[in-house]
Amino acid sequence: MRVWSVFAPRPAKCHCACAVRFFLLLKRLLLTTRSNRMSDESLNRNFAPYAADDGEDYMNEAQLAHFRSILEAARKTMMEDIDRTVHAMQDEATVFADPNDRASQESDIALELRNRDRERRLIKKVDEALTRIHEGEYGYCDNCGVEIGLRRLEARPTATLCIDCKTLDEIRERQMGK
């Protein structure tokens, strides 16, 4: 076994393998940071906050239309990402001879699938929110029936609990150790 020093020239195949590993690592890093941001930011991206008028009824048609458009746009974006991932995985079905490259590719695929699973769960929540809009229940807390609030819904359009109930729920989770 030959050990290469930092200053000694390496064979050409080693440079190619290192370059492939480097780009796969860079791709994984970019996908991880992008998909971590995607979860909640994609729900209200490119939408101006709703400006409520004084005396305006809570969850009137204009507000419902605003949140419906946010949720539908987020759903469409996530579905396009899922389709793009499926096509990319089919196109990148390369079999590497080097075990390290294969392991890196499998790690990338596992990470991408985990992110898509997270988005799939978020799509389910978006669909539930759209159903609540259709049924006229959107914007009201599931536990106590109080208005959730426009600013909270702007931050998290899939919210089903008011801030007080959510805080109590989080305290209970911490105490139970879930």
Q: Which CATH number fits domain 16-35+56-138: 3.40.718.10, 1.10.3720.10, 1.20.120.910, 1.10.260.40?
A: 1.20.120.910
- C-beta neighbour count of 9 within 10 angstroms: 9
Q: Identify which of 158, 118, 127 has the alpha carbon closest to the alpha carbon of residue 142.
A: 158
Q: What is the DSSP letter of 87?
A: H
The answer to whether 141 is annotated as binding is yes
Backbone φ and ψ for 140, nearest 5 degrees, come out as: -120, 140
Tokens of 45: 């991206």
Asked if residue 18 belongs to a known ligand binding site, the reply is no
Rounded CA-CA distance 19/133 in Å is 50
| Residue 97 per-residue DSSP state | S
Render pLDDT for 103-159 as a digit per residue (tens, 0 to 9): 888 888 888 889 889 999 999 999 999 999 999 999 999 999 999 999 999 999 999
Residue 5 phi, psi (nearest 5): -80, 170
The residues with which 147 forms a beta bridge, in sequence order, are 140
Note the pLDDT tens digit of each residue in 59-82: 999 999 999 999 999 999 999 988
Say if residue 165 carries a ligand binding annotation.
yes
Q: Break the chain into its structural domains and give their ranges.
A: 16-35+56-138, 141-178
- Is 144 annotated in a binding site? The answer is yes
**pLDDT tier, 31 (very low <50, low <70, confident <90, very high otherwise):** low
pLDDT over 50 (residue 38)? no
